[in-house]
Amino acid sequence: MSDSLSADVVVIGAGIAGSLAALKMANAGASVLMLESGPEIKRDRAVEYFRNSPFKGDFTEPYPPQPWAPQPKFIPSDNNYLIQKGPDPYRAQYLRGTGGTTWHWAGQAFRLLPNDMRIQSLYGIGRDWPISYDELEPYYCDAEYQMGVSGDSDLASPRSRPYPLPGIPLPYGFDRLKQRLGPLGYEVGIGPQARNSIAYDGRPACCGNNNCMPVCPIDAQYHGGIAARKALDAGVKIVTNAVVFRIEADDKGTIQAVHYLDQNKARHRVTGKQFVLTANGIESPKILLLSTSDRYPNGIANSSGMVGRNLMDHPGSSVEFYADEPVWFGRGPMRPGSINNMRDGDFRGERSALRIDLANTSPVRYLTERLVRQGYYGKALNDKLAFQAERFVQLKCLLEMLPEPQNRVTLSKTEKDAWGIPRLEVYYRFPDYVHRGYDQSMIDFQRMVKEMGGTEAVYSKRGVYDNNQHITGTMIMGSNPQDSVVDGHCRTHDHPNLFIAGTGIMPSASTVNSTLTGTALALRMADSALASL
Amino acid sequence: MMTLSRRRLLTGTAGLLVAGVLTQVLPASLAFASPPLAAAVAPSASFRAISVSLTGLDQPDAILAQRLYSWLHDHVPQLDSQLDTLSALLQQQPAANGSSLLTLLGTQPKALNDLYQTLVSGWYLGIVGPLPHPQCIAFENIVSYQLVPDSLLPPSYAPGQPNFWTQPPARRAHV
Amino acid sequence: MKPVLIQAAIAVVLMQCAVAQAADNAAQIKRGEYLARAGDCTACHTATNGPLFGGGFAVSTPFGQIWGSNISSDKQYGIGSWSDDQFVAAVRDGIGKSGEQLYPAMPYDSFTKMKRDDVLAIKAYLMSMPPVHQASPQTDLPFPFNQRWGMRFWKWFNFDKGELQNDTQQSAQWNNGRYLVEALAHCGTCHTPRNLTMGMDNDKALAGGDLGGWMAYNITPDKQAGIGDWSQQQLVTYLKTGFVANKASASGPMAEAIEHSLQYLPESDLQDIATYLRSVKPQPDAQQTRARDSWGQPSTALIALRGADEATRHAQPGAVLFAGNCASCHGAEGAGSGSGFHAYPSLFHHTSTGAADALNVVSVVLNGVHRHMREGEVFMPPFAPELSDQQVADVSNFVTQQFGNPAAAKVDAKQVKGLREDAKLASPPIYGQGDKP
């Protein structure tokens, strides 16, 4: 066991949250060490892995995992990375490697609404955040400038600084839906995106190659790999292929060290003054739960018993149809616009709010596969494909999940991964709150389909929801140490020198993608960690 | 086990461009998963003829033609006679397309069904071979991306200059 | 009554003189502003993102760094207390305010051709701009180059003093073009080869120059070696925008010249420059067997690589790098994409890839391209932070082999290393490994 590695701040997990926090702390003069379970991810290899893959719809194909850092995979078969124990599946998909899962995101960079942080006080459901929107707002600005977020409307999230970049103009087809659906009350608008509308920060403008998921070939889209690189250039030491499996605290509760396994299963011990956990909303609680001892029989930072609980994501419903005019969805970035004016209101006391993305993923492959399955070939196939591809519309609705303690990840008592680390079990169940949100989304979808003269509409099923990879709730933020894991400054209640940030600490999921919020929290957390040095 | 950068790989193994050495040196999980491409074989007349019919294109891409034919040549016994059989079947029932074609194929041996599926999947999607390990033999030149010109082209390649998407495509593919 | 009238008359005359003077001054300043643009003073006399004309920009030369001086109106650190003669002597004769010899990094061997009134107009413009109260660093070259009196010898060999005189046999446009090319825009400073003493070799005027990291190409009308196959309009478009589809796109120092200077010149000036250039003596080059923009064709190398296994990919490092790094914007076949101002250029039929020397290809790969134009940004990212020396060599050789002049495909990692270090560029990251943190 080697134990010479040490730094002022030890960060676990080199994703977007950890890397931007590390960058901030290094720029403030701290010595920072980041441990990343997976390998270095390189963009040009990822791009070619994608193009060579027979499974182009599988966003993990460009990111082959290492044996010591397995990750969930579903195609061609489910590797059951998370052992499903509940009535509803929780199909998380994420990456373990430098930069983390934002290598294959769609760059949607929304802020929460102020009301999203007060749903218990306002609507009697879920939990309030222990901090206000105003306290988080400056960090939203910092995160947006780091990432290069483009946008136009503030979408009812107040701003103290303008967007760093102008909004990316909507594709032609989106404009058509905007014109036709607007009079019905559905406001299609430019989405705030961590995607360059003009060259910014040494990276080019979006060229519309429609490959945001699984990888932007030109880094017009921001991702954690860019953040990790910046952190490295700023003097952060980054150790890849280092699987943290234990956090070590003394009897007073001060974290003394973390332990990791390397590519040869050898153990290493790393010491520091302050410790930051940013390994995503599933891997982070796993490490906490693994770190049991006599003093901490339930693991680190878990006196509340909340670690791993309150698991949330955005359940997704959807509809696809052929519009009555050509709209050519699939040109430009994958998620350039959405309907954002259904995210808040008194109805949230009864049912989930909605946010509807117009999905700009090129439908060509999907439609071709279907036509081939249906037995078409030659000119007949070509004619149908051309017609369908021109008019295909897919709308995806994000519903708001609530934090419920029984929805959780726990360590398996019997199953271990290839490096001997216990695997995780997951229990997940959608509440009626979500199902009632689904019902509303169907009403809205039907109205939109009718307005667009839609044919062959296919609606997703009640109770069968997409997973959107927005892992929240598992290390929940709150002011009461008895029912939360971290306080409003991202410091764990139990350990004064252990901080957690990223999406996993969010007490509410809202209906917007969580990365910008997780990143803003990480920047806020960095201030707390720095103040403690 | 080390993760080797390409530079170290090249300078260290400059004289050792042999597959055996390489698979030792690169971790298997990072090496490109494709098996070696089939040795190139010139497409037969039977193949060329049926490809025109199956793709609806007068001049299907020559590189993909060779790639697909070579793969079939490696995997399908009596390939050309099978192609002729399939061709004759389709010509007997030129209107069979969609579910009626599936019905027709359902009356045929599995091998012929598989051949049909491989041909169409190979041409339109660039994917051949069965689950769980199909092979991608083409992407940029597959038929599905030839059909909506100026607009729906293979992802990961810039179809135009920034903000081109605000305007409809110059040419409409389908009235 | 009469003295009052006379006084009034004098006052009116004086006022009219003052107004006329002011109008003259305004006209002179405006002309000076135009001339300063054409001469691109800012290129060497303004630091990157620094205050205008405040100096602080280092010109890299084989002898070391030469700092552009503060030429703002500041009395202490700029030219604020310089007389007209002193200013003219600096610009046209290469003599500093205290009589010291100026290094010919200041291209007085071109500016000597300027009319005195033009030099003074520039002075008037500079004096009208805000002072920058900050000293520019002193140039401090190693011995013997710090012996400025040595410039006398340099001048003896290389300095042809004297204003350009109009050639009455030629049109006004041609004369204006020559004035712009030889005096103001000082094209020869980059585009004329240097002799042994680093003076311009005027026998080979505009036959091309080596700037260390970049080649300034032959811009004589030679049909193989120069711009002989460019039309007048193509030349004008290039000077104005830095881009002519299927022919050329400007990078490096030429992109800067277009960005700071040429894009602001009136169309008639650009026409005159083109007229003049197309009239100079064609200079051949045995290395350049065909026009630089006539090389290459679409490549099928990438499509052939699709689905290949690791061994095959390993045998074609340049193609693999091109696929992963370049093809997204430049096309799988290298044909570029899009049209108009923001189009991504084709790599074949491109003067940089068709040149017999691949230096500019390598430098573009390392540095990227950034033209900040009035119409918007043209931007290609630098690949120095992504690719190693060997990778840069491999992809550059692939590009010239597939899309350009195959004779140029002999870049090696050592050459790339030198270019990277000279330009102080980044290198790919090195992450620690779990077993060897």
From residue C21, give the alpha-carbon distance in Å to each of A460, C29, C204: 80, 12, 45
CA-based nearest residue to A18, from A227, A311, A241, A255: A227
Say if C383 is an interface residue toward chain A (CB within 8 Å).
Answer: no
Q: Which residue of C has its CA nearest to B136?
A: C307
Flag if C434 and A98 touch (Cβ within 8 Å): no
CA atoms within a 13 Å half-sphere pointing along the CA-CB vector of A40: 20
**Mean pLDDT across chain B:** 81
Q: Which residues contact C190 (CB under 8 A, 6 or more apart)?
A: C209, C211, C216, C253, C254
Contact in structure between C419 and C366 (CB atoms under 8 Å): yes
Contact in structure between C182 and C188 (CB atoms under 8 Å): yes
Chain A contact set for B120 (CB, 8 A): 372, 377, 381
Q: CA A213, A219, A221: angle at the middle one, nearest 5?
A: 55
Rg (CA), chain C: 25
SS3 A42: coil
Using CA atoms of C380, C385, C390, C394 in order, give the dihedral in degrees to the nearest 10: -20
Flag if B169 and A331 touch (Cβ within 8 Å): yes
Contact in structure between A523 and A18 (CB atoms under 8 Å): no
Burial of A313 from C-beta contacts in 10 A (0-12 / 13-18 / 19+)? buried
**Mean pLDDT across chain A:** 97
Residues from B contacting C (CB-CB < 8 Å) are 2-3, 5-7, 9-11, 17-19, 22-23, 26, 31-32, 34-37, 63, 67, 126, 135-141, 156-164
Chain A contact set for C432 (CB, 8 A): 237-240
Contact in structure between C330 and C218 (CB atoms under 8 Å): no
Q: Which residue of C has its CA nearest to A225?
A: C429
Chain A contact set for B145 (CB, 8 A): 364
Predicted local distance difference test score (pLDDT) of residue C371: 95
Predicted local distance difference test score (pLDDT) of residue B23: 30
- Please give the Cα distance from C436 to C416 (Å, whole number): 29
Which single residue is written with the structure tokens 């990227």?
C368
Report the amino acid identity of residue A376: Y
Choose, out of A216, A365, A374, the residue to mutate when testing the contact with B (most B CBs < 10 Å).
A365
Flag if A209 and B158 touch (Cβ within 8 Å): yes
- Over residues A110-117, the mean pLDDT reads 98
Report residues of chain C scoring pLDDT below 50. none
Say if A255 is an interface residue toward chain C (CB within 8 Å).
Answer: no
Chain A contact set for C398 (CB, 8 A): none
Predicted local distance difference test score (pLDDT) of residue C150: 81
- Please give the Cα distance from A506 to A475 (Å, whole number): 8
Predicted local distance difference test score (pLDDT) of residue C67: 92
A270 beta partners: A5, A258
Predicted local distance difference test score (pLDDT) of residue B11: 29
Per-state percent for chain B, helix, strand, coil, to nearest 5:
45, 0, 50
Give the closest-approach CA distance of A114 to chain C in angstroms.
Answer: 36
Q: Which residues contact A513 (CB under 8 A, 6 or more apart)?
A: A105, A106, A108, A109, A110, A314, A398, A468, A470
Q: Are strands C369-373 and A392-399 parallel, antiparallel or unpaired?
A: unpaired
Q: What are the backbone angles phi and psi of residue A205, rounded to the nearest 5°?
A: -75, 155
Flag if A209 and B155 touch (Cβ within 8 Å): yes
Chain C contact set for B160 (CB, 8 A): 337-339
- Please give the Cα distance from A361 to B151 (Å, whole number): 13
Flag if A263 and C435 touch (Cβ within 8 Å): yes
Helices B45-55 and B79-92: angle between axes, nearest 10 degrees: 40
A151 beta partners: A166
Flag if A39 and B156 touch (Cβ within 8 Å): no
Report the amino acid identity of residue C288: Q
- Over residues A403-417, the mean pLDDT reads 98
Give the closest-approach CA distance of B50 to chain C in angstroms.
Answer: 23
DSSP per position, A100-122: GGGGGS--B-PPPPGGGGBHHHH
Any idea what DSSP says for residue B139? S
Q: Express each pLDDT in C204-231 by its tens digit.
A: 999 999 988 999 999 999 999 999 999 9
Q: Express each pLDDT in B17-36 by its tens digit.
A: 333 333 333 344 455 656 77
Q: Which residues contact C135 (CB under 8 A, 6 or more apart)?
A: C55, C70, C77
Q: What are the backbone angles phi and psi of residue C279, rounded to the nearest 5°?
A: -110, -10
Q: Which two tokens stand for residue A260?
A: 């990791």
Q: Per mean pLDDT, which range of A234-243, A456-465, B5-14, B128-137 is the poorest?
A: B5-14
**Mean pLDDT across chain C:** 93
Burial of C62 from C-beta contacts in 10 A (0-12 / 13-18 / 19+)? exposed
- For residue C433, the surrounding DSSP H or E stretch is strand C432-433
- Please give the Cα distance from C190 to C218 (Å, whole number): 10
Chain C contact set for B23 (CB, 8 A): 310
Predicted local distance difference test score (pLDDT) of residue B19: 31
Report the amino acid identity of residue B48: R
Cβ neighbours around C343 below 10 Å, total: 19
Predicted local distance difference test score (pLDDT) of residue C196: 83
Say if A86 is an interface residue toward chain C (CB within 8 Å).
Answer: no
Which single residue is written with the structure tokens 């997976």?
A38
Contact in structure between C316 and B42 (CB atoms under 8 Å): no
Flag if A175 and B172 touch (Cβ within 8 Å): no
Name the residue among B7, B23, B32 with its Cβ closest to that of C388. B7
Contact in structure between A242 and A259 (CB atoms under 8 Å): no
Chain B contact set for A380 (CB, 8 A): 56, 97-98
Name the residue among B5, B17, B161 with its Cβ closest to that of C338. B161
Predicted local distance difference test score (pLDDT) of residue A256: 98
Name the residue among A204, A232, A241 with its Cβ closest to that of C433. A241
Predicted local distance difference test score (pLDDT) of residue C65: 85
Q: Express each pLDDT in A419-434 by its tens digit.
A: 999 999 999 999 999 9
Q: pTM for the whole thing?
A: 0.92
- For residue A365, the surrounding DSSP H or E stretch is helix A364-373
Cβ neighbours around B84 below 10 Å, total: 17
DSSP per position, A191-203: PPBSB-SS-BTTB
Report the amino acid identity of residue C80: G
Give the closest-approach CA distance of A433 to chain C in angstroms.
Answer: 44
Cβ-Cβ contacts under 8 Å between A and C: the total is: 88
Flag if C435 and A207 touch (Cβ within 8 Å): no
Task: Please report which confidence band the pLDDT of residue A18 belongs to, taking 50, 70 and 90 as the band edges.
Answer: very high
Predicted local distance difference test score (pLDDT) of residue B32: 60
Name the residue among B140, B158, B160 with its Cβ closest to that of C303. B140
Q: Per mean pLDDT, which range of A66-75, A175-184, A261-270, C310-319 is the poorest?
A: C310-319
Name the residue among C329, C429, C432 with its Cβ closest to that of A239. C432
Give the closest-approach CA distance of C81 to chain B in angstroms.
Answer: 50
Residue C306, phi-psi category: left (phi > 0), alpha (psi -120 to 50), beta (remainder)? beta
Name the residue among A365, A375, A385 with its Cβ closest to that of B97. A375
Q: CA B151, B156, B157: angle at the middle one, nearest 5?
A: 55
Flag if C340 and B161 touch (Cβ within 8 Å): yes
Chains that touch B (3 or more CB pairs under 8 A): A, C
Q: Which residues of A are designated catalytic? A: 470
C148 beta partners: none
Cβ neighbours around A366 below 10 Å, total: 18
Q: In what order do the strands lie in the sheet with A408-416?
A: A82-84, A422-427, A408-416
Flag if B29 and A65 touch (Cβ within 8 Å): yes
Predicted local distance difference test score (pLDDT) of residue A53: 96
CA-based nearest residue to C186, from C311, C36, C379, C82: C36
A166 beta partners: A151
Chain C contact set for A238 (CB, 8 A): 431-432
CA atoms within a 13 Å half-sphere pointing along the CA-CB vector of B37: 26
Task: Please report which confidence band the pLDDT of residue B149 belongs to, taking 50, 70 and 90 as the band edges.
Answer: low
- Please give the Cα distance from B84 to B121 (Å, whole number): 19
Predicted local distance difference test score (pLDDT) of residue A446: 98
Give the closest-approach CA distance of C377 to chain A in angstroms.
Answer: 7
Flag if A328 and B100 touch (Cβ within 8 Å): no
CA-based nearest residue to A240, from A103, A421, A40: A40
Q: Which residue of C has its CA nearest to B151?
A: C338
Flag if C380 and A43 touch (Cβ within 8 Å): no
Say if A98 is an interface residue toward chain C (CB within 8 Å).
Answer: yes
CA-based nearest residue to B89, from B70, B72, B108: B108
Chain B contact set for C433 (CB, 8 A): 2-3
Predicted local distance difference test score (pLDDT) of residue A4: 80
Give the closest-approach CA distance of C60 to chain A in angstroms.
Answer: 23
